[in-house]
Amino acid sequence: MKANLSPIDQDKKNAGFAAAQHVKDGFIVGLGSGSTAAFVIEALGQRIIEEHLQILGVPSSYQAFQLAVQNKIQ
């Protein structure tokens, strides 16, 4: 995502990354739409790479689907 975030977007990113920490290996995760959901998807993608987390994502929109694919979420 963007390098220079507004204070509100930084708060959204923090919330998204905190939410992603609640996901455990083997979970089926609903992937919503919107800016905060995009940060959750980004954070989950990082965890998949770094922690070899295995989850199944169920996107609520084509945009969420595309973001999930970019972040290695099945």
22, pLDDT greater than 90: yes
Neighbours of 57 (CB within 10 A): 23
5, pLDDT greater than 70: yes
Q: What are the sequence ranges of the domains in the chain?
A: 25-74
| pLDDT score of 38 | 97
Neighbours of 66 (CB within 10 A): 12
**pTM recorded for the entire structure:** 0.91
Among 3-7, 9-13, 35-39, the minimum mean pLDDT is found in 3-7
- Distance (Å, whole) CA 6 – CA 23: 26
pLDDT tens string 23-58: 999 999 999 999 999 999 999 999 999 999 999 999
